[in-house]
Amino acid sequence: MKVVVFGYSENPERYSNMAANLLHDYKHEVVTINPRQEEELKKINTTFHTLTLYVNPQISDKYQDLLLSSKPKRVIFNPGTENPALEKKFEAQGAEVVIGCTLVMLRTQQFD
């Protein structure tokens, strides 16, 4: 399954980095996007199944048009990324919205 990790950090102590590595270990195709690096935002134009967010609501609001235009089938709002207004917009598009932790979901076989 193709998964976008939005808010990725190369710092191995960050949860986004841990999630990208664990997704790879579980044989998912992983696309990492650090929104601070403008050129990486173009990667979201690919087709993918799941968008897992690792940015605070202010950042997801800033990029909401881009995120919504990607039309993922599922969006995971990890702890600290909850954004009720954006969650409703994704639901209105037909996306499954999950408030949860990608790492826990993977480790407990709840991700797929």
**Quick one: CA dihedral 20, 41, 72, 77, positive or negative?**
positive
- Going from the first residue of the chain to its last (112 residues), give the mean pLDDT of each consecutive group of 10, the final group possibly shorter: 98 98 98 95 91 98 96 98 98 98 97 94
Q: What is the token pair recorded at 48?
A: 């993918």
Q: Tell me what pLDDT residue 46 has.
A: 83
Angle 95-7-22 from CA coordinates, rounded to 5°: 80
Radius of gyration of the chain from its Cα atoms, rounded to whole angstroms: 13
Q: Please report, for the chain, the start and end positions of each structural domain, with discontinuous segments joined by +.
A: 1-44, 66-101
Largest interatomic CA distance in the chain: 35
